[in-house]
Structure 1
Amino acid sequence: MPTEGHDHDSGAAGPLATGYRVRYRRPARTGAAVLLLPVLPAVTGLLLLHALWPTHWTHGGSGRRWLVLADSLTLVSVGTVELFLLANVAAVAYAVSVARDPVPVTPEPGTGLALLTTYTPGREPLSAVRATLEAAVHMRHPGPLDVWLLDEGDDPEARMLCAELGVHHFTRLGVPEWNRGTGPHKAGTKRGNVNAWLAKHGDAYDLVVSADAGHVPQPEALERTTGWFRDPDIAFVVGPRDEAPASPRPLLGTLVQRAGNRYGAPLLDGTGSVVRVTALRQAGGFHDSVTDATVTGFEIHRLRNPLTGRYWRSVHAADLPGAGKEPVSWADLGDRRPRRSRGAYGTLLRQYGKALFRVPPGRLVGYTLTLARGPVEAATWLFAALSCLLVLTHAQLRPWAVLALVTALAPLALWSLALLRGRAARTVPGRSPAQAPVQEPEPALTVANASTPTGGN
């Protein structure tokens, strides 16, 4: 079995190998890629030095102080953009240098697993749910595998679909303990739906995996992911994140997550992630946030396995078979990014300070790069736009400045249009009185009263 630090081909994870503890190998890299790792940051640093070279500054004496001020602001803006570029290139080079891929192992026979698909009538089409469930019942797993549909509205057609496919049906409709205004059982949310199921049925399973409606999991996906849970400290396993072709998040899936393997702390991000039930319960279930999975993963990484006394770890497998899904429109993408960004920086405010200086620094690498990306992108755009505006004061460079300004503003205009179209097209289904949230505080993962007749079917 390859050991960490050896170079091996990482195209596919290769044939399944017998093992117990998670081991890693370096992805194969060409000689040119190895040479570029130190060269690119050095070249970017030289560009920054050239932009701020003293001879490029305009000095006083001409009597036009506004021109000196405009020139100084332009150079500061360009220098700031170059500084952010240098930080980005250095981060990418570091992530490439420490990236690891896990060596596959065969799953432990007899491990109980539940595959969950959530459904809210009126939000997801039942045809998408059918596609997911039909693929889920054909997945291979060397142990008990139950497929569940978590139905937010107890829809009769969804019940008929479950009966047709042999899928378990669960609903929290009519259970006040599982329909709250805030917290882990917040009404009308996926995390509240899953947490209600976890409180009712979680003790019956070792692992749980969630598949969004419209995602079509591959039959061999569980065979490729559950083996790493032979390691008792593995809390969850994640695969590549499915994104729209226009998604601006390739860095997270291809570099940051694989670098997280070096420290045992890839982010819990994306559909199809497999989570150990004991670790999820220890973290209090999925947390109340727009990016609930990432917040929950952060909380798990701050905790220790009570059986071993070591920190919970996670695994990212970049070569797992992908899950097909319905196309993501520009409207959906434009609406999703702002909401996810707000959730991500809620994570920063609530959890990052708690983890800082309390957990090993390597466990924060993925979260640091992920949370820093948004502000750096925004600042880069603002300083680039400011530079273009200031260059307009120079008559000879004015046409180029106008072209650059239009180029910088065009993506923002398209993104804003997509966001407005997404909000206009979204229809929020009405909620029946039985689904109305109860505005009371609650502990995590409340177990419904046993006398409640509809406390999960």
Structure 2
Amino acid sequence: MNKEANNKVKFTMSEIRGILLVIFGLAALGFYYQWWFTEDQMRSPWLVAAFGVAIIYGVVQLFGNWVLYLATHRATKKPMPTAIPDITVDVFVTACGESTDLVERALTAARDMRGSHRTWLLDDGADPALEKLADRLGVDYLTRSGSKDLKAGNVNAALARTNGDVVAIFDIDHAPKPDFLERTLGYFSDPDIGFVQVMLTFENGKDGWVAQAASDSSLDFYNPTSIGSDGLGSATLVGSNAIIRRTTLESIGGYHPGLAEDLATSIAIHAEGWQSVYVAEPLAPGYAPPDLAAWFTQQLKWARGVFELLITDYPRYFRKLTLGQKVSYAVRMTYYWIGPVVLLHLLTTLVVLLKGDHDGLNSYQNYLIHLAPLTFMTMIIRSLALRRWKHRSISPNLQIKPMALVYATWPIYALAWIMAILRVPLGFRATPKSANGTVKPRWMLPQMVTIVLLSIGLLISPITLTNFQLLLVFGFVISQVVAHSVLLGQWMHASMAKPVAAYKRSAPTNPLMNNWRMAESKQHF
């Protein structure tokens, strides 16, 4: 009898609260879906298509994230190994055209990590100054002819010329702390562990509005979402701060190339049967995009790469993944659907406002009534999950800035989705590390047009503050105008940004490299 009692599943109060919140969230999701069948929505092929998007986004992105939040409890029950196995370690610091100061910061930190290891600078720019820097710092230097497959090719070329049992990979803007290896190598005592991923944090949040919003926009992913993915056996690579077993990479043919090479490599590793671990500790801080040029460059690259994997690698590996891994990858690969979803809502709002008929406005008001509880529960669940599972070093905030930044970046995400569907190529673009880029007016045109048309729609529509029947429509329109205006204001006043000392030190000093960075930024923005 006692044995049967001990085998019963026990829930903590925190888990019970989480389950109850998700139940309320599902009720709100069901209430939202109910609207689609209450009137004549399903008679229009366009609304049927929109309903399909709503179903996919609601079930996969929203409910999928809630599942990951609940799975955070499973991740925390994993024991932290204390003994470090007898393995050799190669540390790869990848570089391509960055400033000497920035490279020196990363190399020095990598070299000074405690524990036996060998540090390598992988220079895809073949810069003699960086070769001299590596020699002065006492680290090894590698370069190659050509730049095939870019970062993935750089890593694979180094793998062929080194022999460490595991390789630690750092982007040039991340500086590992002295105890990085001590906090991660112990997991490789388990021969089934293919890689260990350490959370990404950013130390330039005070650089300006964009830097802070960009940094905060990742808090949910690198805290409860990634911890939950780990709980489902699906911690994924994120491009830096990772240690990978050499035999793991050899089993999948090396680091996989692409715009989202980290995600492509992760899913191949998991499909091969390897396990992974996520360490939710700020052990190697880096830099978030400092301005809109850097932010747009990064988001277009990531969204385009992730969308491509969603329609290529995910279906290919689907049968080889566990259920938890299927959920985790589906959540990550549908994140940028926020672009098409926002676009659909904007187009609907504009059509309803510009037509100005009461029937259309009342129908839209009814839609928003069904959407409001879901929006509220999504924000509540996300906020509480972040508060519960964020690292103790992270200050709590209302996430208003990152929500406005991501929401108003919908044109970039929508463009990435179109490019992925049409297979329009996008060359690799490293995210600029200094606030030197500029965004041409044409890239802000969608935000400008949105603000103008929404404002005109408000003026000519019968919506007023005293018309309480349409007050929800009024509030929804105003919130969209505000979000787009904030981003537009940041673009207009970019010259007023005050870079902190960290970016002054990391700003490119070599004129040739500065031109390279500016070209990368200005070519598309």
Does residue 324 (structure 1) correspond to residue 324 (structure 2)? The answer is no
1:226 CA drift (Å): 1.1
> Which position in structure 2 is the counterpart of 1:262?
231
> Which position in structure 2 is the counterpart of 1:91?
64
**Aligned mates of 2:122, 2:12 — CA distance in 1:** 38
> Which position in structure 1 is the counterpart of 2:136?
164
Pairing of 1:325-340 with structure 2 (within 5 A): 325-329=286-290, 330-340=292-302
1:397 CA drift (Å): 2.6
Does residue 345 (structure 1) correspond to residue 417 (structure 2)? The answer is no
Distance change (3 Å), C-alpha of 1:326 and 1:357: closer
1:220 CA drift (Å): 0.9
> Which position in structure 1 is the counterpart of 2:327?
365
Q: Tell me, which stretches of 5 or more residues in structure 1 are unaligned?
A: 8-25, 60-68, 304-310, 431-457
Does residue 383 (structure 1) correspond to residue 347 (structure 2)? The answer is no
3-state DSSP of counterpart to 1:118: strand
What TM-score do you get using the length of structure 2 for normalisation?
A: 0.61
Amino acid at match of 1:118: T
**Aligned mates of 1:259, 1:27 — CA distance in 2:** 16
Identical-residue share of aligned pairs (%): 24
Amino acid at match of 1:115: V
1:196 CA drift (Å): 0.9
Q: Would the aligned equivalents of 2:179 and 2:283 in 1 still touch at CA under 8 Å?
A: no
Amino acid at match of 2:266: G
3-state DSSP of counterpart to 1:257: helix
**Aligned to 1:35, which of 7, 12, 20?**
20
**Aligned to 1:216, which of 151, 168, 175?**
175
Distance change (3 Å), C-alpha of 1:88 and 1:335: same
Q: Tell me, which stretches of 5 or more residues in structure 2 are unaligned?
A: 1-5, 203-210, 359-460, 466-470, 495-512, 519-525
Distance change (3 Å), C-alpha of 1:386 and 1:353: same
State the Cα deviation string for residues 14-61 of structure 1 (Å, max 9, x = none).
Answer: xxxxxxxxxxxx998376444323222223423543x4574xx489xx
3-state DSSP of counterpart to 1:218: coil
Pairing of 1:237-316 with structure 2 (within 5 A): 237-242=196-201, 245-247=212-214, 248-303=217-272, 311-316=273-278
Amino acid at match of 1:135: A
Q: Would the aligned equivalents of 2:234 and 2:270 in 1 still touch at CA under 8 Å?
A: yes
Amino acid at match of 2:100: L
1:289 CA drift (Å): 0.1
> Which position in structure 2 is the counterpart of 1:131?
105
Does residue 148 (structure 1) correspond to residue 220 (structure 2)? The answer is no
Amino acid at match of 2:193: I
**Aligned mates of 1:134, 1:163 — CA distance in 2:** 12
Q: Would the aligned equivalents of 2:85 and 2:189 in 1 still touch at CA under 8 Å?
A: no
> Which position in structure 1 is the counterpart of 2:413?
none
Q: How many pairs align?
A: 370
1:237 CA drift (Å): 0.7
Amino acid at match of 2:230: N
1:119 CA drift (Å): 2.0
1:149 CA drift (Å): 0.8
**Aligned mates of 2:213, 2:89 — CA distance in 1:** 34
**Aligned to 1:113, which of 67, 89, 103?**
89
Distance change (3 Å), C-alpha of 1:389 and 1:153: closer
State the Cα deviation string for residues 98-129 of structure 1 (Å, max 9, x = none).
Answer: 221332102434311111112223xx111011
**Aligned mates of 1:339, 1:349 — CA distance in 2:** 16
RMSD: 3.9
1:299 CA drift (Å): 1.1
State the Cα deviation string for residues 414-450 of structure 1 (Å, max 9, x = none).
Answer: 76999999xxx984379xxxxxxxxxxxxxxxxxxxx
3-state DSSP of counterpart to 1:37: helix
Amino acid at match of 1:154: A
3-state DSSP of counterpart to 2:91: strand
State the Cα deviation string for residues 239-266 of structure 1 (Å, max 9, x = none).
Answer: 2133653234444323332232234221
1:217 CA drift (Å): 0.8
**Aligned mates of 1:220, 1:5 — CA distance in 2:** 39
Q: Would the aligned equivalents of 2:106 and 2:176 in 1 still touch at CA under 8 Å?
A: yes
Distance change (3 Å), C-alpha of 1:321 and 1:80: closer
Q: Would the aligned equivalents of 2:92 and 2:121 in 1 still touch at CA under 8 Å?
A: yes
State the Cα deviation string for residues 56-103 of structure 1 (Å, max 9, x = none).
Answer: x489xxxxxxxxx99x98999799759845654422321122221332
Distance change (3 Å), C-alpha of 1:426 and 1:163: closer
Pairing of 1:388-403 with structure 2 (within 5 A): 388-392=349-353, 393=356, 394=358, 395-397=461-463, 401=473
**Aligned mates of 1:94, 1:169 — CA distance in 2:** 44
Amino acid at match of 2:112: H
Distance change (3 Å), C-alpha of 1:145 and 1:326: same
1:356 CA drift (Å): 2.2
1:162 CA drift (Å): 1.6
**Aligned mates of 1:406, 1:239 — CA distance in 2:** 40
**Aligned mates of 1:246, 1:160 — CA distance in 2:** 37
Q: Would the aligned equivalents of 2:176 and 2:285 in 1 still touch at CA under 8 Å?
A: yes
What TM-score do you get using the length of structure 1 for normalisation?
A: 0.70
1:209 CA drift (Å): 0.8
Distance change (3 Å), C-alpha of 1:366 and 1:416: farther
